[in-house]
Structure 1
């Protein structure tokens, strides 16, 4: 595929893409907002010197936090235009960066049709465009090269699966890879895969996710949540299943119900990754006869001590959930969905459990397992058994948590290395 064909396919697909946005907006109204930005019509006012940083969704936005803070300090005359593709990513950015006021503004990145990309760049005239992790937009890269705007792929990662897809895309992906001014890769393996696509200026900086620190307010909220969990009775052991995906909750709930030797009073804390599924997951819990409490109702209802499952139906509180738990499963890994980021749990010294499908974060997961910070399980029954074992065994839980904390601390410093590289290309 060449870039002309790629652009034509974008225009052909655009009606279906917009229709899908409207359809998804039934459950998540944010998809029906700010459509003009997706078409490069409107958005934040132009004028001030701008650095564009693209963080597609929640994970990338949270990872970008230390980079945004460092850039604002390094370039006091600039604002950051933080772009996203999902409303949950936008909501996360709004929550994380509200204290920066007008120095951080938000928009959706326009679709990569060529003309929309050029209109977006002409409007904002950025000093640089920074794409987080895996975002490769061929027309955006081409337009930036034509307008002499440096483009950096920061905190870059590329799995073997993504590499194979990129190779199948042919010329369009190779041209895009060559257009990067700089790539700051998480690992040597990521760097090698990215170079094989054609990128030349590739440096290994580590993952900036290790530099994300839990805010004091999140830890306080975790303590508050824990106080509600144990209200009216003794300390309750808490097993957190974080960022679960469709199909996983059924497996987890059934395995947890089958488990005969759960620690007395243990609580399953279930946090679906996508907010539009909160009610669906609540129905899965009650359909099994399990007693349900919801985080969204805790301010009004303090009777959580009678619940079997606490549903984490809130946004932006993952650090608080990690702080409140005794051990954590990282979702998306029981099924072939690629897994989610385990670093935040490790940074809070929590023992981590993962399934067999962690290709999205493979290198970090392999290292965490090797360090004794995480444990891989083959299925939901093994997950339930290992979680119950850790909840019963205080010494094993403390040792594994200490290893998790040491693993997270050892890898810090990627933000400093990344920003030092960025300063070479941002004029």
Structure 2
């Protein structure tokens, strides 16, 4: 595809967005009915603000969902420490809840505007960001082109490029170069990711590692944790976290296979808690007793499964076990981030489909803190082995914590790469008079 044709394709994308704009309200209404949009804040998706813009320099940070939001929290805290205002946008209700719990009112939160020209322009006219920072892999054509038109630098941090996304962009090389070439800077998680962004037209590109490693361990309410620990007592536990459809069934099969030998409690934390009713029905049909966190159910001696169907409590669930299977890796593809369980000292298990987090898994596997299982039967054997072999389990747990320490440093590398953009804003913020503008 030629450069000229790429421009035509991007122009057509923009015009198609304008044509679709009148229908956007109906689409959002449907998503709201499914619990995927916040009814009270739906106008934010059209670029309408719900909070005043503060006076002074402002950096717009966009994190699509929960994982990206958690990853960028340390960076946002550093920006605030430098007196730079931070506007965080996210695309999901769950990520908004996590941001509220973790950050409170230290940053402003809005839902990201739809990638439609009227919404994007309304959003940028109001917020007037000095820079835009997107996390991991968020590329929205209309937004990127509008930022470039206004000479607002867009930077991609903690950037990663999955096998599937890279193959898809390669088929549209000219379009990719027309978009990725407009990024002011890409700071990638790994050398492989960096090379892929360069191949697609990004420049300059640097490597930082994963900034999530530099964050705090997932928090939890100590009172709630102590209550559940007393209820669990001396029972052996394992957790299946960030699970996708099909993986909960595998976890139940593992539980039923091992319960007679170990008397264990299985903790299941689905990636999408809105599936909890469906998951519980499946479990009850298979004859297991379920306690749900969202109902504040107690864990009794008769409880088989503790269903972690809440947002922002991964720290609680992981502190109740020493063995964690990380989902989206057996019956779904791509994997989920294994760093949180490793950080909290869990032995990590995963299915083989981990292409989205290949670098993290390679490091954990080399350190001996993670193991790959190919199917449900192998998962059951691995859980049983770790439960009954204290030395092997503790060795994996210790290796995970040590690996996390060795992997730190990504935040400092990211801040160093951002210096040309944020240092002038820091100076401006600290010299400016304190005031609030309603512009």
Q: Is the 8 A contact 1:71 1:419 kept in 2?
A: no
Q: 1:20 to 1:244 in 2, by over 3 A?
A: farther
* Match of residue 161 from structure 1: 164
CA distance in 1, matches of 2:354, 2:164: 12
Aligned to 2:64: 56
1:188-337 map, 5 Å: 188-214=191-217, 217-218=220-221, 221-230=224-233, 235-257=234-256, 259=257, 263-298=261-296, 301-337=297-333
Task: Name the counterpart of 2:90.
Answer: 84
**In the TM superposition, what is the alpha-carbon distance from 1:223 to its structure 2 partner?**
4.0
Change (3 A) 1:344 1:32: same
Shift of 1:221: 4.4
TM-score between the two structures when normalised by the length of structure 2: 0.89
Aligned residues: 415
**Structure 1: any 5+ residue segments left out of the alignment?**
none
Q: Which stretch has the larger CA shift, 130-139 or 141-150?
A: 141-150
| Whole-angstrom CA distance in 2 between matches of 1:67 and 1:411 | 16
Does structure 1 residue 183 correspond to structure 2 residue 186?
Answer: yes
Q: Distance in 2 between matches of 1:57 and 1:143?
A: 23
Identify which range, 35-44 or 193-202, moves more after superposition.
Answer: 35-44
The alpha-carbon deviation at position 377 of structure 1 amounts to 0.5
Q: C-alpha displacement at 1:261, in angstroms?
A: 6.9
Rate the CA distance shift 1:374–1:216 in 2: closer, same or farther, 3 A: same
Paired residue secondary structure (1:328): strand
Other-structure match for 1:22:
29
Distance 1:15 1:275 in 2: 31
Please, which moves more after superposition, 64-73 or 23-32?
A: 23-32
Deviation at 1:17, TM superposition (A): 5.8
Q: Report deviation, 1:280.
A: 1.1
CA distance in 1, matches of 2:98, 2:335: 20
Task: Provide the C-alpha distance between the structure 1 equivalents of 2:198 and 2:349, rounded to a whole number of angstroms.
Answer: 32
Pairs within 5 Å for 1:112-131: 112-131=115-134
Per-residue deviation, 1:278: 1.1
Does structure 2 retain, via aligned residues, the 8 Å contact 1:27–1:276? Answer: no
Q: Structure 1 CA distance, aligned partners of 2:24 and 2:357?
A: 28
Is 1:222–1:322's contact at 8 Å kept on the other side of the alignment? no
Alpha-carbon RMSD across the aligned residues, in angstroms, is 2.0
Determine the structure 2 residue equivalent to 1:360: 356
CA distance in 1, matches of 2:37, 2:231: 31
* One of 91, 100, 103 as aligned partner of 1:94: 100
| Deviation of the 1:213 alpha carbon | 1.4
174-183 vs 417-426, which deviates more? 417-426
In the aligned structure 2, how far is the partner of 1:345 from the partner of 1:18?
40
Task: State how far apart, in whole Å, the 2-side matches of 1:15 and 1:305 are.
Answer: 55
1:108 positional shift: 1.2
After superposition, the Cα gap between the structure-2 partners of 1:216 and 1:271, relative to the gap in structure 1 and judged at 3 Å, is closer
- Residues 8 and 254 (structure 1), Cα distance of their counterparts in 2 relative to 1, 3 Å cut: farther
Q: Is the 8 A contact 1:183 1:203 kept in 2?
A: yes
Deviation at 1:114, TM superposition (A): 2.8
CA contact (8 A) 1:241 1:271 kept: yes
In the alignment, is the contact (CA less than 8 A) between 1:138 and 1:172 conserved in 2?
no
Matches of 1:236 and 1:82 in 2, distance apart? 41
Evaluate the alpha carbon distance shift between residue 198 and residue 14 of structure 1 in structure 2; reply closer, same or farther with a 3 A threshold.
same
Instruction: Note closer, same or farther for the CA distance 1:225–1:169 as it changes in structure 2 (3 Å cut).
Output: farther
Equivalents in 1 of 2:361, 2:25: separation in Å?
36
Given that residues 28 and 37 in structure 2 are in contact (C-alpha distance below 8 angstroms), is that contact kept between their aligned partners in structure 1? no
The separation in 2 between residues aligned to 1:7 and 1:69, in whole angstroms, is: 35
CA distance in 1, matches of 2:219, 2:94: 23
Give the Å deviation of 1:225: 2.6
Asked whether 1:44 is paired with 2:30, we answer: no
Contact 1:24 1:31 in 2 (8 A): no
Greater Cα shift, 137-146 or 352-361: 137-146
Contact map agreement 1:22 1:31 (CA 8 A) in 2: no
- State the 4+ residue runs in structure 1 displaced beyond 6 angstroms: none
State the match for 1:349 in structure 2. Answer: 345
